[in-house]
Structure 1
Amino acid sequence: MLVLPAAAGASVDPGSALHAYMRGRLADDDGAPGLALTSYRQALAGDPASLEVARRSYFQAVISGDMGLALRSAAVLESDGILPRDGTLLQIADALNRKDWAGARLIVDRMVAEGNFAFLAPIMRSWISVGEGRYAAPVIDPTDRFASLAKRYLDEHLALQALRNGDLQTARPSINQALALRTAEADELRLLFAGQLAARGARADALALLPETHANFAQAREDIARGKALSFHGKALTAGQGFARLLTRLAADISSDGSTGSLGIRLARIAAFADPAGAAPRIVAADLLSRGGYAAYAVEEARKVPGAGWYGALGQAELVEALAAAGQRPEAITLAHALAAVPNAEPERHVRLGQLLMQEKDYRAAASAFRAAQAGYSDDAVPWALLLFEGSALEQGAQWDEARAVLERAARLAPNEPAILNYLGYAQIERRQNMDAALELLKKASALKPQDASITDSLGWAQFVTGDIDAAVPILERAAAGAPSDATVNEHLGDALWAAGRRYEARYAWRAAAVFAEGETAQRLAAKTKEGMKPEYAAR
Structure 2
Amino acid sequence: MDLAVRGYAEAMAADPGNVALALRTYRQALEAGDTALAMRSARVLDQSGVLPRDGTLLFVLDALGRKDWNAARKLADRLKVEGNFAFLSPFLSSWISTVDGPYSAPAVDEKSQFGALTARYLDEHVALQALARKDVAAAKPAILRALSVQTSTLAGLRIALARRLVALGQREDAIALLALDDPALRSTKLELANARQVSELALTPKQGFGRILARLADDVGEGDSRPLALALARLASISDPASGEMRLLLARQLVLSGYADIAVVEVGKIQNDSPWASAANNLKIAALAQTGKSEQALALARDTVARSEASAAQYLQLANLLSEMQQFGPAVDAYRAAQGRFAKGAVPWSLYLLEGSALERSGRWSEAKVALDKAMALAPNEPVVLNYLGYAQVERRQNVPEALLLLHKAQALRPEDPAIADSLGWAHFVAGDPRNAVPMLEKAAAGAPGDATINEHLGDALWAVGRRYEARYAWAAARVFAEGDAATRINGKVRSGFRPEFAAP
- TM-score between both structures, scaled by the size of structure 2: 0.93
Deviations 1:362-413, CA, capped at 9 Å, x for gaps: 2222222222222343443322222222222222222222221111111111
70, 82, 101: which one aligns with 1:114: 82
Q: Which amino acid aligns with 1:508?
A: Y
Which one of 208, 212, 216 corresponds to residue 250 of structure 1? Answer: 216
Q: What letter matches 2:378 in structure 1?
A: L
The Cα of 1:212 is off from its aligned counterpart by 8.0
1:207 aligns with 2:175: yes
- In structure 2, distance between residues paired with 1:142 and 1:331: 49
Distance 1:168 1:100, change over 3 A: same
Is the CA contact (8 Å cut-off) linking 1:247 and 1:270 kept in structure 2? yes
- For the Cα contact (< 8 Å) 1:260–1:291, is it kept in 2? no
Letter of the structure 2 residue corresponding to residue 334 of structure 1: A
Query: 2: distance between equivalents of 1:185 and 1:279?
Result: 17
Contact 2:127 2:140 in 1 (8 A): yes
- Could you say which residue in structure 2 is the equivalent of 1:485? 450
Q: After superposing the two structures, state which structure 1 stretch, 289-298 or 71-80, moved more.
A: 71-80
Alignment deviations for residues 410-461 of structure 1 (CA, whole Å, 9 cap, x no partner): 1111111111111111111111111111111111111111122222222222
| Residue 345 of structure 1 pairs with residue 310 of structure 2 | yes
Aligned-partner Cα distance in 1 for 2:504–2:141: 59
Q: What is the count of residue pairs matched by the alignment?
A: 505
2:467 maps to 502
Alignment correspondent of 2:158: 190
Cα deviation for residue 173 of structure 1 reads 4.0
Q: What corresponds to 1:521 in structure 2?
A: 486
Give 1:330-409 correspondences, 5 Å limit: 330-409=295-374
* Residues 244 and 274 in structure 2, CA contact (< 8 A), matched pair in contact too: no
Matched, 1:74 2:42: yes
Supply the distance in 1 between the matched residues of 2:486 and 2:330 (Cα, whole angstroms).
27
What is aligned with 1:54? Answer: 22
CA distance 1:228–1:476, shift in 2 (3 Å): farther
Which of 112, 116, 120 is residue 144 of structure 1 equivalent to? 112
Displacement after TM superposition at 1:295 (Å): 1.3
Question: Shift in Å at residue 184 of structure 1?
Answer: 5.1
Aligned positions of 1:211-230 closer than 5 A: 211=179, 214-227=182-195, 230=198
Q: Is the 8 A contact 1:191 1:217 kept in 2?
A: yes
Cα 1:506–1:186 shift into 2, 3 Å: farther
Deviation at 1:188, TM superposition (A): 3.2
Q: What is aligned with 1:536? A: 501
Residue pairs, 1:80-99, within 5 angstroms: 80-99=48-67
- 8 A contact 1:480–1:493 mirrored in 2: yes
Tell me how far apart the structure 1 counterparts of residues 149 and 326 of structure 2 sit (CA, whole Å): 38
Evaluate the alpha carbon distance shift between residue 55 and residue 463 of structure 1 in structure 2; reply closer, same or farther with a 3 A threshold: farther
CA drift at 1:138: 1.0
Q: Is the 8 A contact 1:460 1:473 kept in 2?
A: yes
Does the 8 Å CA contact 2:457/2:504 hold for their aligned counterparts? yes
> What's the counterpart of residue 124 of structure 2?
156
Report the Cα distance in structure 2 between the residues aligned to 1:507 and 1:390, rounded to whole angstroms: 37
Instruction: Give the Cα–Cα distance (whole angstroms) in 1 for the partners of residues 393 and 273 of structure 2.
Output: 48
1:283 aligns with 2:248: yes
Secondary structure of 1:175 counterpart: helix
- Structure-2 change in CA distance of 1:178 and 1:530 (3 Å): farther
Cα distance, 1:355 vs structure 2: 1.1
Answer yes or no: is the 8 Å Cα contact 1:62–1:269 preserved in 2: yes
State the TM-score, normalizing by the size of structure 1: 0.87
Give the stretch that moved more between structures: 185-194 or 321-330.
185-194
In structure 2, the partner of 1:441 is 406
Distance in 2 between residues matched to 1:223 and 1:91, nearest whole Å: 36
Q: Which residue of 2 aligns with 1:129?
A: 97
Q: State which of 86, 101, 104 in structure 1 corresponds to 2:69.
A: 101
Q: Which residue of 2 aligns with 1:327?
A: 292
In structure 1, give the amino acid aligned to 2:414: K
Q: Show the counterpart of 1:235.
A: 201
AA in 2 matched with 1:395: E
More moved, 419-428 vs 330-339: 330-339
Contact 1:215 1:342 in 2 (8 A): no
- Listed as ranges, the gaps of 5+ residues in structure 2 are none
> Equivalent residue for 1:21?
none
Give distance in 2, aligned partners of 1:101 and 1:405. 66
Q: 1:326 to 1:149 in 2, by over 3 A?
A: same
Moved more, 369-378 or 434-443: 369-378
Deviations 1:29-57 (A, max 9, x none): xxxx3332222222222112222212221
Is the 8 Å Cα contact of residues 27 and 38 (structure 2) preserved in structure 1?
A: yes
Query: SS at the partner of 1:458?
Result: helix
In structure 1, C-alpha distance between the alignment counterparts of 2:162 and 2:20, rounded to whole Å = 47
1:182 deviates by 4.4
Q: Deviations over 1:96-131 (max 9, x none)?
A: 222222222222322222220223332222222224
* Aligned-partner Cα distance in 1 for 2:397–2:144: 53
Give, in whole Å, the separation in 2 of the partners of 1:174 and 1:123: 15
- What value does the CA root-mean-square deviation take over the aligned residues? 2.3
Distance verdict in 2 for CA 1:214–1:50, change over 3 Å: closer
**1:307–1:521 Cα change, 3 Å:** farther
Q: Offset at 1:181?
A: 4.5
What is the SS of the residue equivalent to 1:237? coil
Greater displacement, 272-281 / 342-351: 342-351
Q: Which secondary structure does the structure 1 equivalent of 2:481 belong to?
A: coil
